[in-house]
Every structure is written in C-alpha cells, then in structure tokens.
Amino acid sequence: MTVTRLDQGQRHRPRMAFLKKIEALMMEMQNPDTGIKTKMQRVMVTNIPHAVAGNDILQWILQRLQVTQEEALHLGDLFVKYGYIYPLQEPKNLTLKTDGSLYRFQTPYFWPAQKWPADDTDYAIYLAKKNIKRKGVLEEYEKEHYNMLNQKINYKWDFVIMQAKEQYKAGKERKKEDRYALDCQERAYWLVNRTPPGMLDVLEYGLDRVTDPNENKKKTLDVYRREIMYYQQAIMKTRVKSSVSLGGLVKYSEQFLSNDPILSGCLPSNPWITDDPEFWDLNAKLVEIPTRMRVERWAFNFSELIRDPKGRQNFQLFLKKEFSGENLGFWEACEDLKYGDQSKVKEKAEEIYKLFLAPGARRWINIDGTTMGITVKGLKHPHRYVLDAAQTHIYMLMKKDSYGRYLKSPIYKEMLAKAVVPQQTVKKSSPFLFGRRTLPSSPSPIILRQREEEAKAREAATTVDITQPHHRASWSPHLAVYTSTSTPPCPASQPHSPQALPRSTTGPGPFPSGPGRPRAAAMSLGRWLRRGRWSSPAFTAVSPEGSAVSHGKVQPLGGRERRLRRDSRAVSRACFYSMNSVQAMC
C-alpha cells in the first residue's frame, strides 16, 4: 500500500522548483567570470548592448551541464519560452536558434517566479501604446483584445490612454538602441503571459484549487498530532500476503476463463470477425431466454448477478415470492440517483425517501437506526451519494441472506435448464486484418481481358450453322503442329495408310507416344476443330466449315466454301500425315 502525505495539495503547482533551477542557471550565465560573454551587436542599423548569440548559449549549456546536444537545445528552448531570454531579430519566434541569432537576458523583474501579475490594465496600456506608435496597425488578436479590454475596463480607459501616451513620450527620449531593446523585452513578456492564438501557453496550469503545497507553513502541535493519527491508521490497515493474493488471482482467472471472449472465444461466433449479429441478439440486456454461460455466471458471485439486467429481473421474481422485492427496488433507485441527471438529484432523493424510508412508506425497507439517522441527516442537503450508507446496508443484506437461497431456488434452476447453448457458426470473413482468412487478390486487367476473349470465343463456338453437316472422319491440324495459313504440303512419298508411318516410342513430343496414341490424338484434334476453332485465321485456308470473319462466328457455306468442302477429306488426310511425321521426328 502507498501511504500518501497529508499535505498533498489540491491547488495548482506553479513549478517553483523547476523555475528556481532555471533562475540559478540564468544567474550563472550572466556571471562576468564563468558566464557567457556579452558584447555590442549590430541589428539592422542599431547597435544593441549586452547581446549574445544563440550558438554561444547552446555551447555554454553543453559545457556546464554535460548533456547531449538535443537536451541542451530543449533546455535552451525552455529558457526562451518561459521568457528568461528574449530574441532581438525575430521577437515573435520564442525558440533558441543555434546560429548567430541574437538574444538578450530578460530583466529579473519580469521572471515568472516573481509572480508579478500580468493584469488587464497593464496589458491594455501596452496595447494602447503600441497602437499609438504604429498608428492603429495591430495584429488581429491584439485588435480583439484591445476592443475587449476597452469594454471591460471602460471606467478607467482615460487612465489607460494617459499612461500609454506618457510611456510613449518617455521612450522617445531614450537612446535608439535602448528603445529597441526595451521594445523587444516588453513584447517577449506579453507573448509569454498573453499567448497569441496557436502558440503554447507554458504558464497554463489549470484551475485554482484549495491549497498550495509550495506554501511554507509553520507546523503546530495540532498538525503533528493529526499526522501521527493519520500514519497510525495507515499502519493498522490489514495486509495480505503475496502468496494469498496471487492464489486469489489464479482462482479468479480459472473461474472466469470460460467466460473470457478473447481466451476462450464466444458463441455462436465473434461478431467483430464474422459480421454475424447473432451474438448481440442472444446477449441482449433483457433477452427472453439468456445463454447458459450467462446464467452460470450469476452463480460466481452476487456482483455478477446484480450487474446483469436480466439477472436482476430474475432475482426480482425470487424476491417478490419472499416478500422482499423492495430491497432490490431501493438499490436500483439509489443507482439511478447516483448516475442520473444532476438537476433532478434533489427531487429523486425526496421521492426515494417518501417511497422507501419515511415512516409508513408504501415500500418501506428495514434498516438499522444508525444508518437511518445518517441518511435522514444527509437528506437535509441532498447530493448524489447521500443514500450510500443505506444502499450498502441493503446490498449486504441481499448478498448474505437472499442470494444463497436464490441459487437453490426453482426459479434459478428453471432458468438454468431452459438457457440457450448456441452452436458455433462460421460466417463470411470480416474486412478487418485481425483474425480474417487470407483472401485471393484481385485479378489483373490483363487476365480479365483474356477471360473476356475466351468468353467471346466460347460464344462464337456455340453460334454454328446447324444446317451444314459435320464430317467426323475429316482430320484437321493441331495448333502445335501446323499454324500456317497456306495449303499444307502433301508429300507424295508418304504412304496413305496411317499404319505405314513410323512412330517414336520414346522421347518427348506434342502428342503422347505408344500404340494407338496418334489416332487418339488426331481424334482429339478433330473433336477440338469441330467445336468451332476453325474461326482462327490460321485455319482459314483449310477450314471445311466456313471462313473466318472479324467477329469470329461461322458463316454459311458459299461458292468458295463448297469448293473447299470437296477437298476437305484430302486436306485432313495431309494434316494427319504431317502430325505423324512430327511425332516420328520427336
């Protein structure tokens, strides 16, 4: 257990320790012996005294603190952002540049730790003086602030204008370099304390609270007495051995393992993976018949039962039979008061008192006198947690008395018997990466184009003139054997009988080897050609069915086609001889 301190404040922490450390470093930087050497620097046409370069500041931090360059640069940025160093060349850019950019040390009077209040009157004087100097040319946010302050402190606006004119006249009497340095100094101060839109407000600490822990309080005897009492109470708190606590954790994990949707899965399926809403339907808050796993979970402890709306509904039926249903009704009313609308807290607290706690109440609950006294006293100034004592008393009464009898009652056993046991289902995969199956990638446009062409070819194959007869005995060339558009050669030396041709029994080739295989291959080729592949331009000259056209469909026979048909048997025989010759060569 962690013992917290009594003086732990609830007010803002203005980071005094952090600012004090920065101020100590700033004092070392300005030390004539060990600090950064300042000198006269020229900015535009003005010589500025006591100026330093950004690179010199970075090198001094590196040597003094022995840190990395990134850490030194970050610390230098903090010096500028908090207003301890202000830039001369780019007054609006509150960052430390590691080059020859010029900076000056801010006057200690303007350091944040001095707690000098940047009130509206000083800011209005600064804006009015700037408005006079630039003849009405201000930044957009400065114009908004100027108009807002004019309305806010209009009762002393004459004083603001008078002070602005006097300061402007006093500034004109200074030297040019001093006037320029003071303008940069004042601008840097207001950039830190009145941050423009879009810039980080480093002094922002939130709302003021009750106490300030940085305040130096003188401890009295009463303070020490309260501290002793606090620490004694902390020591007297019960402790548990680590072995006992770990054993309880293991027991809890084993008990809830089957109900863990990540470790054991959920039935019928995980809706985040399968897009199946059946899991939500079966586990709705007030579903008619809950799942068996849900009902079994009510027996783990009383908290599981009372947190489940369906469990409370079933438990209420049991309490009504025992004539103690007002206990659960009071507990639910207290929950509604605790988490309801703030504007109705008082009204709800009065209704609960009249319904459950008042003498002769319609649903009067039985609580002890001490708890009743605390509750009635708190109802004089009602708030969300005014009924916590009575609610805790009723909760423990139901847990120790009614809960055990409920688990043995027929109401719970009947609900457990008719509970649903969903079967595991597999639905479509979710588009999420977690737990989805690997899906095939989309086909490329080239493959889609090839599929379209194949589909067109199949459509062309089905469009055949059924009035023309087909010759099953005609032999046709295969693409792998003959692809010329001219008339294939028909050598006279080749015998006309397929059995007289030599065949190769070994070696690879476009057709399978072995007895009877060439004829089978030729039959396959003929079958392939009869299905409409004559539309290819490679077979235009030898096609017995028709000529190839642009759309790939077979046309009816004309005069030229009839002449070709007479020679179809001779052409087929020549192609068959060519196939057997190629197979023999292979």
Per-residue pLDDT tens over the stretch 429-439: 445 444 444 44
Count Cβ atoms below 10 Å from residue 408 Cβ, excluding itself. 8
Given its phi and psi angles, is residue 44 left (phi above 0), alpha (psi -120 to 50 degrees) or beta?
left
**Which of 453, 510, 452 has its CA nearest to residue 482?**
510
Q: What angle do CA 43, 45, 47 make, to 5 degrees?
A: 55
Q: Which residue has the higher pLDDT, 199 or 544?
A: 199
Mean pLDDT of 278-299: 90
291 forms bridges with which residues in the sheet? 420
| Encoded tokens for 443 | 């086909």
pLDDT at 395: 94
Tell me: pLDDT of 181 over 60.
yes
Extract the tokens encoding 572. Answer: 């087929």
Q: In what order do the strands lie in the sheet with 39-43?
A: 39-43, 46-53, 102-105, 85-87
Q: Is the pLDDT of residue 153 over 70?
A: yes
Write the DSSP symbol of residue 35.
S
**For residue range 407-428, what is the model confidence (pLDDT) as tens digits?**
999 999 999 999 998 887 755 5
| C-alpha distances out from residue 171 to 106, 108, 209, Å | 18, 20, 41
Most confident option among 11-25, 457-471, 515-529: 11-25
* pLDDT number for residue 213: 54
**The predicted structure's pLDDT at residue 497:** 41
- 205 pLDDT band (50/70/90 cuts)? low
Query: Would you say residue 12 has pLDDT above 90?
Result: no
Type of residue numbered 241:
K
Helix or strand holding residue 38 (H, E): none
Tokens representing 504 are 């190769």
Between 111-120, 366-375, 445-454, the lowest mean confidence (pLDDT) is in 111-120
Please give the Cα distance from 345 to 535 (Å, whole number). Answer: 88
Find out whether the peptide bond into 512 is cis, omega within 30 degrees of 0: no
pLDDT band at 309 (very low <50, low <70, confident <90, very high): very high
Around Cβ 168, how many Cβ atoms within 10 Å? 15
pLDDT band at 534 (very low <50, low <70, confident <90, very high): very low
Can you give the pTM of this predicted structure? 0.39
Mean pLDDT of the 58-87 span: 89
Return the minimum-mean-pLDDT range out of 243-247, 455-459, 493-497: 493-497
Phi and psi angles of residue 466, each rounded to the nearest 5 degrees, phi first: -75, -10
Over residues 446-459, the mean pLDDT reads 82
Pairing of strands 39-43, 85-87: unpaired
What secondary structure letter does DSSP report for 556? P
Q: Which DSSP symbol is given to 291?
A: B
DSSP letter at 398 equals I
**Residue 29 burial by CB count (10 A; 0-12/13-18/19+): exposed, middle or buried?**
buried
Q: Residue 412 contacts by C-beta under 8 Å, 6 or more apart in sequence?
A: 295, 298, 299, 314, 318, 406
Separation CA 406–CA 315 (nearest Å) = 7
CA 353 vs CA 328, 334, 337, 343, 369: distances in Å:
15, 10, 12, 18, 15
Highest average pLDDT, of 155-159, 193-197, 205-209, comes from 155-159
Instruction: Give the mean model confidence (pLDDT) for residues 434-461.
Output: 70
Burial class of 337 by CB neighbour count within 10 A (0 to 12, 13 to 18, 19+): buried
Number of residues in the chain: 586
Query: Is residue 230 pLDDT above 50, yes or no?
Result: yes
Confidence tier at 583 by pLDDT (50, 70, 90): low
Between CA 147 and CA 131 the distance in angstroms is 12
* Most confident range, picked from 54-58, 343-347, 392-396, 523-527: 392-396
CA atoms within 13 A on the CB side of 424: 4
Most confident of 171-175, 182-186, 398-402: 398-402
Q: Is the pLDDT of residue 458 over 70?
A: yes
What per-residue confidence (pLDDT) applies to 506? 41
> In the predicted model, is pLDDT for residue 219 greater than 60?
yes
Q: Which long-range contacts (CB under 8 A, 24 or more apart) does 362-365 make?
A: 363/326, 363/329, 363/330, 364/326, 365/326, 365/327, 365/330, 365/390, 365/394
- Kindly report the backbone phi and psi dihedral angles of residue 20, in degrees, each rounded to the nearest multiple of 5, phi listed first: -65, -40
| pLDDT at position 184 | 84
* Residue 511 and residue 504 in contact, taking contact as beta carbons nearer than 8 Å: no
What is the average per-residue pLDDT within 104-126? 82
Contacts of 259 by beta carbon, 8 Å cutoff, 6+ apart: 293, 297
Distance, in Å, from the CA atom of 134 to the CA atom of 127, rounded to the nearest integer, reads 10
Indicate if the pLDDT at residue 356 is higher than 90: yes
Asked whether the predicted pLDDT for residue 586 surpasses 70, the reply is no
- Confidence (pLDDT) at 568: 53
Summary mean pLDDT of the chain? 76
How confident is the model over 40-66, as a mean pLDDT?
A: 85
**Which helix (H) or strand (E) element contains residue 247?**
helix 242-256
